[in-house]
Structure 1
Amino acid sequence: MSEMDALFAALRQVADRQTVECIENAVMRGSDRDLNRINALAFAKAHHLDEEKTIAALLHAARLGVFEMTWNVLCPGCGGVLDTGATLKTVDQESYHCALCAAGYEPTLDEMVEVTFTVSPRVRRIAAHDPDRLPPLEYYRQIFFSSGVDLPEDFEAIFGRILLEIIELDPGEKAFVSVRLPAQFVIIFDAVTHSAQFIDVQGEPTGERQNLSMVISRGHALSDTLTLRPGPLRIALENHTDRRVVPNICVAGDDLHHLLGSRRPFLTAKRLLTNQSFRDIYRTDTLDVDQRLKITSLTFLFTDLRGSTALYERVGDLAAFDLVRAHFRVLHEIVATEAGAVVKTIGDAVMATFPSPDRAIAAALRMREAMLQLNAEHGSDDLLLKIGIHEGPCLAVNLNDRQDYFGQTVNIASRVQGLADPNVILTTEAVVGDAHVSEILRDSGISSVSRMEELHGIGREVRIFALS
């Protein structure tokens, strides 16, 4: 058995077999481009696979060494990759600047950090393993743009319509480029160093040659926008880096904006952190102790068993332990199948996260039914589950050697659960106001009753909704 056969045999033991078959076929027969920075959601859609099973299979494949997983910081404006690293620990800057968009951004895990998978060179070598040898436009396609930019198959032809010139410069090399400036906004941009120079071309056309010098370096600072006239321009470009650079001169018009604005869903860091398979595989290797990464929207679900102490007293430690353990197993399964993850258990309580409120509500409804079924099977009402849900911003942190969350959103969710009665799901306005949640409640025939509550330690009244 070859090493590749052994790797995929091991992968089939821990991941969905149909998904593994598609991944193996892609590794064996896919194009080089298809195996670089794989977008898990796009892969699932193209092969008609379940997204959660695809994410889980790729995570297990990365752990086995079939793929290299990368965390890419993105510009929300142009979709370019501003920085990349092998772990989330490399996202350590307070802000990231995009020279192409002339804007700075504080990183959030919602839409600014993507997670992609590239086939390992030990499994199969592809062109992107040597990015400096890629043709210039292929470098832009495979290395600069994120997997969330939906580039067309005829990208080169479309980009060619706005491209005035593109060249390659080896380390230390200098070149002269002559172009004719149209009466439009023009950008000189290098995708390797993210160096940029803006040119506002306006005024009367000229027949006289204009001159411009640009030094491409790692520490390139954005220059002021130059104003030039339509007509001939001679550009002196110098590469002061130790890598090949690929500067291009293009027209920043509607064609470019349309190209950059075509987006598709991708695997965000937020979604991965709320994925049970990820938490199971990468338990302690996610964040550094000092990291505090923002998430603008995450949904928290807390559960607890009412009267568990009396349960142990009534039926004995062994029987109670088996019953509580069965309850934990069911809750874990439901959370995982609803794209969530169990962050931790505290006594008989569970703290879980979901990427969106509708997933949390779907999980809560299933949990309530599952507890009723467990109680029916045991002929008693021993498992009295209390559920509270809230959605909002938070910080992803490392607490007690575990990837955890911090902030007022977490506190509110916990306090809401504390007010819940057994078999009644309590949520906040942020949750029931979600359009997808409203649809779930309407289709399930679930009614809600609201009231104002002053939550301990919050300092203000919060409107909560009881779902029954």
Structure 2
Amino acid sequence: MAETEALFSLLRQTADPAAAMAIERVVRHGADRALNRINVLAFAAREGLDEEAAIAAFLHAAHLGLFDLSWNVLCPGCGGVLDANATLGTLDRSSYSCTLCAAGYEPTLDEMVEVTFTVNPRVRQIAAHEPDRLPMHEYFRQIFWSSGVDLPDEIEAQLDEIIIEAIELPPGEKALLSLQLPRGFIIVFDPVTHSVQFIDADSEETRERRSLSLVIDAVHAPNETVRLQPGPLRLTLENRTGRRVLPGLFIAGEALHTLIGRRRPFLTAKRLLSNQTFRDIYRTETLNVDQRLKITSLTFLFTDLKGSTRLYERVGDLAAFDLVREHFRVLGDIVAAEAGAIVKTIGDAVMATFPTPERAVAAALRMREAMRSLNAAHGSEDLVLKIGLHEGPCLAVSLNERQDYFGQTVNIASRVQGLAESQAIYATGSVVERPEVSSLLARTGLTPLARRRALRGIDDEVTLYEIP
């Protein structure tokens, strides 16, 4: 207990005070399930916290050992967790399949990988630390479905409407269920191994008893859909795994679709990788050198100081260094405030990422104004910033022991910045043409000016927008 008290004390010193207090409250008094796979965005909304402050606080709490991070690969269809990883570096499969949805997916960091936080067992023991002892409805809530599925508090009653029959089957054991198979599409499914058997019972009812067997093992290879007439069914279930399983017969109808169809925002891996606190704390603990993880949409912002060489000649190394360092500090604060992260600095240039184009444009506008304020404070025009923005797909990679990005989107963003003039913001159509960006510019009274320009390495000219 003394160790935990010391960790909470450190958290209050490093994180937003309100967020730290909310975390301490839930650890001390929250229900068990409230401390397993915490959806930080839902937590922030419930506690009235700023999302970025809540994310940073949980990252600090995890770094201190109060929580464990989990990088969960999700099925876009049913919201089930297909794979749970303690680190992003262990997410090394090129494809995942969901047996419940009978679909395969190539993982992306946008909406298919969530990041959740579970209280460390040294801080507080909760039921989910021993998932094989959870009752079926809590196993579904806390283990099978992701934090993005907005489940009701009383999930047991809703599952009872969907489940015809269910059983807890210990390892190595066999069970025989006798039941009345209703008309419709029925799924025999085990949430532990994801073993599945589809039954198409959409035909005329019979009084003759049918038999069906399902072996549950670690492979859970997909089975062909079985066509059976509604009526008496003898179902044999055999558990060939080394752990308890929870097979049940589910009616694939409106009630099931309604249950899993309610979704809520969750913390994606893409958003976390573009979070400055995460990059500062977990600088070398993200991707393995051989990993290439896809992101379908990320916004890149590049800046550079115009005439910095002449600045050093004019005011001297020491004064110029202080100015440039101040410029880096201001840009870093703005990037973090707009939910972005600085990937790296190259000389006097900055490469930053943002989860959405509107946050990147907001940051660019604030950067330009900040440079004007710095120049006014120093009575000069020494800090002249050029900014370029582009959005698109990319790969998250590890380069030089640092999490970085690779791809044509990165190249285009860099070259767009290279075309920018003094104090200009240049952006591509994929940024400016977003409705959220259009609304932002309209609110600030700015009208982007379109122009066709050639980019090195790009065959055709592209339309760029100058934000005056």
The verdict on a shared fold, with TM-score over 0.5 as the criterion, is yes
- The answer for the alignment partner of 2:360 in structure 1 is 360
Q: Does 1:345 align with 2:340?
A: no
- The answer for the alignment partner of 1:102 in structure 2 is 102
Q: Does 1:260 align with 2:260?
A: yes
User: 1:58-457, aligned counterparts within 5 Å?
Assistant: 58-457=58-457
Aligned equivalents of 1:237 and 1:459: distance in 2? 61
Aligned equivalents of 1:82 and 1:136: distance in 2? 18
Aligned equivalents of 1:218 and 1:452: distance in 2? 57
Aligned equivalents of 1:422 and 1:454: distance in 2? 19
Q: Describe the superposition over 1:123-180 as per-residue Cα deviations: whole angstroms up to 9, x where unpaired.
A: 0000000000001111111000000000011211111111101111111010011221
Q: Describe the superposition over 1:292-336 as per-residue Cα deviations: whole angstroms up to 9, x where unpaired.
A: 000000000000000000000000000000000000000000000
Q: How much has 1:460 moved relative to structure 2?
A: 2.2
Aligned equivalents of 1:89 and 1:104: distance in 2? 21
Q: Which aligned segments of 4 or more residues in structure 1 are displaced greater than 6 angstroms?
A: none
Q: How much has 1:105 moved relative to structure 2?
A: 0.1
Any idea what SS the aligned residue of 2:397 has? Answer: strand
Q: How much has 1:121 moved relative to structure 2?
A: 0.4
User: 1:27-46, aligned counterparts within 5 Å?
Assistant: 27-46=27-46
Aligned equivalents of 1:81 and 1:427: distance in 2? 37
| Letter of the 1:425 counterpart | I
Aligned equivalents of 2:347 and 2:264: distance in 1? 41
Aligned equivalents of 2:60 and 2:100: distance in 1? 36
Deviates more, 1:104-113 or 1:155-164: 155-164
Q: Does 1:463 align with 2:463?
A: yes
Q: Does 1:12 align with 2:12?
A: yes
Q: How much has 1:208 moved relative to structure 2?
A: 1.3
| Letter of the 1:338 counterpart | E
Q: How much has 1:202 moved relative to structure 2?
A: 2.1
Aligned equivalents of 1:297 and 1:324: distance in 2? 31
Aligned equivalents of 1:162 and 1:267: distance in 2? 29
Q: How much has 1:459 moved relative to structure 2?
A: 2.2
Aligned equivalents of 1:387 and 1:457: distance in 2? 20
Aligned equivalents of 1:110 and 1:460: distance in 2? 29
Any idea what SS the aligned residue of 1:124 has? Answer: coil
Aligned equivalents of 2:248 and 2:57: distance in 1? 38
| Letter of the 1:296 counterpart | T
Aligned equivalents of 1:178 and 1:439: distance in 2? 61
Q: Describe the superposition over 1:16-61 as per-residue Cα deviations: whole angstroms up to 9, x where unpaired.
A: 0111000000000000000000000000000000000000000010
Q: Describe the superposition over 1:263-288 as per-residue Cα deviations: whole angstroms up to 9, x where unpaired.
A: 00000000000000000000011000
| Letter of the 2:421 counterpart | D
Q: Describe the superposition over 1:388-430 as per-residue Cα deviations: whole angstroms up to 9, x where unpaired.
A: 0000000000011110000000001000000001111100000
Aligned equivalents of 1:357 and 1:35: distance in 2? 33
Aligned equivalents of 2:459 and 2:172: distance in 1? 61
Deviates more, 1:293-302 or 1:172-181: 172-181
Any idea what SS the aligned residue of 2:360 has? Answer: helix
| Letter of the 2:323 counterpart | L
Q: How much has 1:461 moved relative to structure 2?
A: 1.4
Aligned equivalents of 1:167 and 1:452: distance in 2? 65
Any idea what SS the aligned residue of 1:411 has? Answer: helix
Aligned equivalents of 1:68 and 1:178: distance in 2? 43
Aligned equivalents of 2:23 and 2:409: distance in 1? 38
Q: Describe the superposition over 1:355-391 as per-residue Cα deviations: whole angstroms up to 9, x where unpaired.
A: 0000000000000000000000000000000000000
Aligned equivalents of 1:422 and 1:29: distance in 2? 55
Q: Describe the superposition over 1:323-354 as per-residue Cα deviations: whole angstroms up to 9, x where unpaired.
A: 00000000000000100000000000000000
Aligned equivalents of 2:265 and 2:178: distance in 1? 39
Aligned equivalents of 1:96 and 1:417: distance in 2? 38
Aligned equivalents of 1:113 and 1:159: distance in 2? 26
- Name the TM-score, length of structure 1 as normaliser: 0.99
Aligned residues: 468
Q: Which runs of 5+ in 2 are unaligned?
A: none
Aligned equivalents of 1:190 and 1:423: distance in 2? 59
Aligned equivalents of 2:16 and 2:170: distance in 1? 45
| Letter of the 2:393 counterpart | P
- Name the TM-score, length of structure 2 as normaliser: 0.99
Q: How much has 1:261 moved relative to structure 2?
A: 1.1
| Letter of the 2:319 counterpart | A
